[in-house]
Structure 1
């Protein structure tokens, strides 16, 4: 009898251990700048991610397991991003990571996910090269995905707005000195060259610069009819304010970051009229968007999202990753990557409803027809008319 009892107890213990193992949470990394000039993007992305995880967990999680976020502030620094990536992979054992706000941080850090065969979802970084860093023939498989409008898409839209819609032929480019700014500037110059246009001025500035007078004077003296920008909020505001000081009123058209709260607030009325590509505008145009906006406002007690694009793309990135884990029936990185590249059905997000967003050779979920032009008006971003 004792032998039978012992066997039953042993069987029960094994069953309990397996059940406990099955109930362990699925760890997902979240990396972005939660402090500093890029913080509106990082915090908004993280908060959008949290809303998605709360929704999914409330419905039972994925594969019967809850999602658990492991957050790390990469401070928009390449070296810190590298440290965070290694920590999330080796110490926290994440099955995937969402984030990367800054192109330079992404390019420095995502190689660790590639080597570990763990998918990473770039939900804000837009440098055109980001998803091409590990393509064939050197790499059989690529573990870097994105659901943000890359700079190839954005540069085409910026130039189309400036040259085709607004009929400007004399353009100036002001871009910051980061990887993001300089890669974006290269995309703009290539796109302009394809239309036979050479900028009258191409000027660079550094993060935290507060006086753009020299760069703006070169653009003005060159006869620029429009200023094209690639940078982030604080310095973009210095451009708008510097133009006001020079009493120089020409349009500002730039990358999506002109929608950042710290551009809108710091530029004030000088930012009105600035135009930029947007995947998401804080406007309840669908039931899904309405619910998302209201949930964000309620959870974080805020009216205007610091970076609505970042929040929406962060939210959607979790749903895409969760759908892949569910389809794979596993958290194994190889299987999750394969599922991402061949997702069945649709994934309803707030940016769009995704149908087959990725393939083995295309890791860009956002296509040109999903992006609109926004405009700053009275302290908010609205759809440009």
Structure 2
């Protein structure tokens, strides 16, 4: 049975009606009931264009980062289809304008310019921190809200003063993920850390966050390896890390390089555990390292297990819709929730004028509570905080038999209750 925290808000749908519909039916029912409620607004709110509400989407849908870019896009599409089945916004369907950044910063900036030129009301996107940092000034200067569901680089929501920022995020930033993992490895007695970080903006930011988290525990890395994307062999750096006495490898990179590290350790016969942020849950690592990935630990906001009806419905709906395995569950779930949060911000604007400042104000405090897949979003953003994910929403995942599950039984039990922001 759903916990009390999962009950849908009465102002949108009566609890008894949702019980009869079930959570999957509730997704479609939600939109219809929202439209019914909006019909009671003053007539002037209904007057105007019936043209689609255009929402930008930008991410790596081809290339090396497509393994998490495509699940992000699918999560957005699933949410939009559900919303449109219920009537959209004031009778206007939502329409996605999708741009592929191919994980390239220059291309990311160009397609972001294209999105803004196409007059999208807001944008959901970015998986790669380096790409995001190259483009977010465009959204800020245009006063066009951007909701980031995947990129975890701390700098993404720190570049602008929060009160002025149009950059929002539904993802655990690295300044949360790094200390969360450091606390876990210290608890396990692993105090000699080797850091392996790529030279991208993501790797640089993650490296700095890990060093700061270690310093908070009076620790320093015993070895640091920095490398370019696409590296095929890190045997020399791994040998040096082992010689330095490292008893754990903290990796901060995006894809196949994580597998290079795991396979290199296996070749050397070095059994030091590999830990890191959410990128250790990506197919490039799981499929590329196979048995060498077993036991790796990573930070997660969402693990693809049907721990309650809300999550079970999301997982089954995704499988039915896309007829494929959910490759990076976190990317899809975060993006799905981000899309509904954007829709809820629309509903906070009663006159139908979806301009950037009005959406920013709505996102920062005028929305009703959204009972999401990753979390229950009760005031997820504010004028002083643009990150929706807080530490209590994080768990440690572990690779077991080639899949991600909970590292701790207590986390699996805690996951029965969807967390609220703290």
Report how many aligned residue pairs link the two structures.
362
The residue number in structure 2 matching 1:190 is 212
**Alignment partner for residue 347 of structure 2, among 326, 335, 344?**
326
Distance 2:57 2:236 in 1: 39
Matched, 1:363 2:389: no
**Alignment partner for residue 88 of structure 2, among 30, 54, 61?**
61
2:133 aligns to what SS in structure 1?
Answer: helix
The residue number in structure 2 matching 1:101 is 127
The residue number in structure 2 matching 1:310 is 331
Distance 2:100 2:236 in 1: 34
**Alignment partner for residue 231 of structure 1, among 233, 241, 253?**
253
Are the counterparts in 2 of residues 262 and 306 from structure 1 also a CA contact under 8 Å?
A: no
Structure 1: gaps spanning 5 or more residues: 1-17
The residue number in structure 2 matching 1:15 is none
Are the counterparts in 2 of residues 227 and 252 from structure 1 also a CA contact under 8 Å?
A: yes
Distance 1:356 1:279 in 2: 18
Q: State the Cα distance separating 1:20 from its structure 2 match.
A: 9.5
Distance 2:82 2:98 in 1: 18
Superimposed CA distance per residue, residues 49-104 of structure 1 (whole angstroms, 9 cap, x where no aligned partner): 000000100011112211000111101111001101100001x1100000110111
- Structure 1 residues 20 and 359: CA distance shift in structure 2, 3 A: closer
1:27 aligns to what SS in structure 2?
Answer: strand
Distance 1:105 1:328 in 2: 31
The residue number in structure 2 matching 1:258 is 280
The residue number in structure 1 matching 2:66 is 39
Write out aligned runs for 1:126-165 (5 A): 126-135=152-161, 141-164=164-187
**Alignment partner for residue 145 of structure 2, among 104, 108, 119?**
119
Distance 2:90 2:264 in 1: 54
The residue number in structure 1 matching 2:311 is 289
> Which of 1 and 2 has greater Rg?
1
1:341 aligns to what SS in structure 2?
Answer: helix
Are the counterparts in 2 of residues 275 and 384 from structure 1 also a CA contact under 8 Å?
A: yes
Further displaced range: 358-367 or 340-349: 340-349
**Alignment partner for residue 86 of structure 1, among 102, 113, 119?**
113
TM-score, normalised with respect to structure 2: 0.84
Q: State the Cα distance separating 1:36 from its structure 2 match.
A: 1.7
Alignment RMSD (CA, Å): 1.4
Distance 2:253 2:367 in 1: 37
TM-score, normalised with respect to structure 1: 0.92
Distance 1:127 1:372 in 2: 18
Structure 2: gaps spanning 5 or more residues: 1-44, 409-422
